[in-house]
Structure 1
Amino acid sequence: MPLGTRIMGPAIPEEPGKTLIVLASGLGDTLMFTPALRLLRETWPRTRLVALTVRETEREALEHHRDLDEVRFAPLLRLGVAEVVRQILALRREKFDLVLLPCPGNRMHYNLLAWLSGAPHRAGFRYLQQSRLNLDFLNTQLLAHRDDVHNAEHNLALVELLTGRLRTKMGPGHPPLALPTTPADRDAAEKYLEARDGATEGWIGLHISSSRIKQMHRKCWPVERFASLVKHLEKKYPGLRYFIFCGYDDAEDSRRLAALLEGRARVLENLSVRVIAEVMRRCRAVVTNDSGLLHVAVAMKVPTVALFGPTNPGRSGPWGGRAVVVRQPMSCSPCFYHTSSDLACPANLDFACIRKLPVEWVVDAVETILRVDTPPPRG
């Protein structure tokens, strides 16, 4: 089924007064909606665009986005039933004209939320797995999802079909991901680096984990292989320093890597996502699993090496930018699809696709990135 195939509903005949965008799938997925957000604002300059986030990290990433009129935070995943009902009733009173459910969002809860909001237009996707089970028929506009198309491209196609406006420039990176930071974020990053090393450039950033929701940490390269990567690079690039970006789910693994490297890498903890973005901007390269910080690095235009195993780089890989994807050509990989199920290895190989990804391949990718010896981007 080709991308752009409409399953249900026409384009919206006139610019809506108020649009609610439900961003509930994580930091990376939120950033992969920002290209479509740019197109949406260009096409509908007068509509009030409200983003609803369910995690503080996503709220912070969008807080200063010029294309949004308002960013809300409601931790619906942690609230009791009574409070969720109260939140939904409050949404109904606001009388939104359109609710957008970006890709990926193959969950019953998202479709129910859109329907219960009372909005006359509710737009999302028909996924290849579990779509009807997850009540996609509650929406009024549906676009066919394809497993070989990038999430950002899906979101752009949905906006094009809703608005009737096509992009003038196509392809990965058009429009780019956006994570707006502030002068205060930039100052905080500078002070953080100066306090720890006295140097604000010449770093390699490492992000070694991912969210543990739906067992997503199983898609990550082993800590021991990250340690081997650093030891290989030290021999050829003795002047480089290393940061380990530590999230709320991966403190234990980050400290284990630092211990394996005997103090030669610093763990960055307790930083906001925008300060992390500014620290990344000062890195010569970032090496990361398929995670939200992969898309932060791309949004900040940092050279990036992205490691993939069971997930599909064609769907959630780098959207443009200076990026190299490293993965093993195994017949069973990728195997993960947009469903509500946990990540599992259907070939019973214990995720060998990522677990046994050769260190030498990643070293080669980092060296390829470093050969383009340009200073980190600014501004």
Structure 2
Amino acid sequence: MAEAGRQAVGEGERILVVGPSWVGDMVMAQSLFKTLKARRPGCRIGVVAPTWSRPILERMEEVDEVAGLEVGHGQFGLASRRQLARSLRGRFDRAIVLPRSWKSALVPFLARIPRRTGFTGEQRYGLLNDRRVLDKATLDQTVKRFVALGLPREEADAGDFALPRPALRLDIDNLIEQRIALGLSSRPAIGMMPGAEYGPAKQWPLVYFHELARALVGEGFEVRVLGGPKDVDAGEVIVEGLPHAHNLCGRTRLADAVDLLGDCRQVVTNDSGLMHVAAAVGTRIQALYGSSSPAYTPPLTNLAEIHYLALDCSPCFQRTCPLGHTNCLKQLAPERVLQAVLATTA
């Protein structure tokens, strides 16, 4: 009886969250983790997540356990899901499934977790037993949808609830090591993130990044271009011929990027996963939006200036510009971003 009463108020509840597959979404999921910890004191949170996301989750104070899922993006991986589910049986009271795909709900179902919450989608009726209908007008942001799944149905449907901001922990010792290993200077740093995994319709022209980098170096800054292995060539275009400009794309781990972004005075970034990382470490952001909408996936911080032209054709949410011109980004001049950086840098 005492155990039942304790579970009724959420104390000691064991919650498994099936996390998303993108860097930015995983950062935004921390708003849910914070909400769960605040609403259910003493609860324990485990997260099913791709192995690449572990360095992000380990920087979140609210996450007690990471259950790595060795499945590539877009792959079904039934054997891996079954194996993980077997290891989780009997260990959780409740599951919250953030992605809306059928396969994402498999692990909690196969793990026989009693209560399984998620939005209805892809015929998941047998896999979820606490199904929610997604009202896209009320839950008009990704982070709202994540947090809503951790709330009572009535409160979630009303859409009027707090959205705690993500906050990733920095590792100062690692930052010092990276600054030495990468040959970074003592100049104040501006980060640049030219990548956008979704597609080129979200990417500011590289020549604009280069022009901005040249101007910032002239103003006494160091420029750090961050991204993954796919962004190496883009980084080379940006830093070409510039002193105090470093192409770090593909040279750092995700955990290193967290610390290096936390060390920057500001970042200039496409709507990307690293933009959300920068927001979560408290760095001022100059956010560039083209095919996507700042209303749907804004950086969750007060330290952000949004650069968005709101042309008649945007947001189109397409990977490539359907009109073939990408004017939503090409008409966003480097001079505008430069002035915004200089105006807000102490």
Work out whether the TM-score is over 0.5: yes
| Amino acid corresponding to residue 135 of structure 1 in structure 2 | Q
Q: Does residue 265 of structure 2 align to residue 265 of structure 1?
A: no
User: 1:111, CA displacement in angstroms?
Assistant: 3.5
Structure 2 residue aligned with 1:153, among 104, 126, 144? 144
User: 1:272, CA displacement in angstroms?
Assistant: 2.5
Q: Does residue 263 of structure 2 align to residue 282 of structure 1?
A: yes
Aligned equivalent of 1:225: 208
Change (3 A) 1:217 1:98: farther
Contact 1:20 1:49 in 2 (8 A): yes
Aligned pairs for 1:20-99 within 5 A: 20-56=16-52, 58-77=53-72, 81=77, 83-87=79-83, 89-90=85-86, 93-94=89-90, 96-99=92-95
Q: Percent identity, please.
A: 24
Contact 1:286 1:302 in 2 (8 A): yes
Change (3 A) 1:121 1:82: closer
- How many residue pairs get aligned? The number is 332
Aligned equivalent of 1:209: 195
Aligned pairs for 1:236-255 within 5 A: 237=219, 239-255=220-236
Normalising by structure 1, we get a TM-score of 0.77
Structure 1 segments of 4 or more deviating over 4 A? Answer: 78-82, 162-165, 195-198
Normalising by structure 2, we get a TM-score of 0.84
User: 1:303, CA displacement in angstroms?
Assistant: 0.7
| Amino acid corresponding to residue 191 of structure 1 in structure 2 | E
User: 1:305, CA displacement in angstroms?
Assistant: 0.5
Gaps of 5+ in 2: 1-6
Contact 2:286 2:307 in 1 (8 A): yes
Gaps of 5+ in 1: 1-11, 337-341, 374-379
Q: Does residue 319 of structure 2 align to residue 343 of structure 1?
A: yes
User: For residues 88 and 71 of structure 1, what CA distance do their matches in structure 2 show?
Assistant: 11
Aligned equivalent of 1:144: 134
Task: Compute the RMSD of aligned alpha carbons.
Answer: 3.0
Contact 2:45 2:64 in 1 (8 A): yes
Change (3 A) 1:48 1:220: same
User: 1:352, CA displacement in angstroms?
Assistant: 2.9
TM-superposition CA deviations, 1:83-106 (whole Å, max 9, x none): 33532541563363322123xx23
| Amino acid corresponding to residue 266 of structure 1 in structure 2 | H
Change (3 A) 1:64 1:309: closer
User: For residues 188 and 200 of structure 1, what CA distance do their matches in structure 2 show?
Assistant: 16
Aligned equivalent of 1:293: 274
